[in-house]
Every structure is written in C-alpha cells, then in structure tokens.
Amino acid sequence: MIYWEDVVLDQPRESVQSYVLSAENIKAFASEWDPFPPHVDDAAAARSPIGELFAAGVHLLSITIRLSHTVAHEDTSSIAGRGWERLRFHRPGVAGDELRVRVTHVERQPASRPERGLLVSRFELFNQKGHVLVSFDNHVVMLRREAAAA
C-alpha cells in the first residue's frame, strides 16, 4: 500500500494502453453528450477553424480519465478526489489521433486533518506526435502512513 509520504514526485508515468480517435467514436460521443455541429457533422467541421471533425473537450477528458487507470501503480491509500485545477485544452483531438496519458505527481501538502495529506498530480493527454491536447492538476486526499501505524 502506498501512503501519502511514499509518493515519489516528479517521475512521469505513462498509460499502458492508448485510445485511437475515429470519426465514428467522435460523432457517437458528441451525439449524446455535446452535439456541437463540428463534433457531429463533417460539413460543419470543414467550415470550422479546425477544418475537420474534432472531439468534444468532455470526450477528451473522459479518455484522459479512462487511460489514467492503465498507468502502472501500486494500491494507494487514496480517499477521494478534491477537484481539478488549471484545466486546459491545448489542441483539438481529431480522427486518427492515438492518445496516451502521462501522470506526474507534482506536490504533496498536509491536509487539515493530521491523518490525511493532499497529493497534486498533473494529468496530460497527448497524441502520437507528442503534442499535449489536455492538461489539468488533479487533487486527491490520501491517508498518511503515521495514521495507519497508530
């Protein structure tokens, strides 16, 4: 079990799996969750500044979370998520992009309760060219080792 004190900072880890965007999965997701015309209609997408069909931001976020679960890790003492900060959409995801996730633990902070700590991890979704499409900092509450030993 990995506790708050055990987490190693500044060592990026990548997802084992990847996800390939296709016109079909872009349209299927957007049809249900974000039917903005350039996400569901090829003609509307061609007229957009992107010039082609592109994935909804919420679709890219969903892929990020799903792929993050394939990053190799040991069981952790995580209790709950506290939220995301610095969410950015850097580039569009388009059909043919093969996506992976990189997670880097960047900061540990004590929490208001002595048996807990806060871990901040940077999540980055990137394509086959290494371009980052989405990034955000994920805040998670974890148990501290001292609390488990008491």
| 36-49 confidence digits (pLDDT tens) | 999 999 999 999 99
Q: Considering only CA atoms, which of 31, 27, 6, 33 is closest in space to residue 119?
A: 6
- Residue 60's pLDDT band, with cuts at 50, 70 and 90, is very high
**pLDDT interval class at 76 (50, 70, 90):** confident
Token pair for residue 102? Answer: 């990189």
pLDDT confidence of residue 89 = 98
Total residues belonging to the chain: 150
Q: Which is it for the CA torsion 34, 35, 40, 46, positive or negative?
A: negative
Percent of the chain residues topping a pLDDT of 90 = 89
Q: In the beta sheet, which residues pair with residue 134?
A: 89, 125
**From the candidate CATH numbers 3.30.420.40, 1.10.260.40, 3.10.129.10, 3.40.50.10320, the one assigned to the domain spanning 4-149:** 3.10.129.10
Q: Looking at the predicted structure, is the pLDDT value of residue 13 above 70?
A: yes
Count CB atoms within 10 A of the CB of residue 130: 7
At residue 147, the pLDDT reads: 62
Q: How far apart are CA 48 and CA 61, in angstroms?
A: 21
Closest CA to 13 of 88, 99, 123: 123
User: 140 pLDDT exceeds 60?
Assistant: yes
Q: How high is the pLDDT of residue 73?
A: 78
Q: Is the pLDDT of residue 148 over 70?
A: no
Could you tell me which residues come within 8 angstroms of residue 144 by beta carbon, excluding any fewer than 6 positions away? 3, 4, 5, 77, 114, 115, 116, 117
Domain ranges in the chain?
4-149
Question: Whole-prediction pTM value?
Answer: 0.92
pLDDT of residue 149: 54
pLDDT confidence bin for 146, thresholds 50/70/90: confident
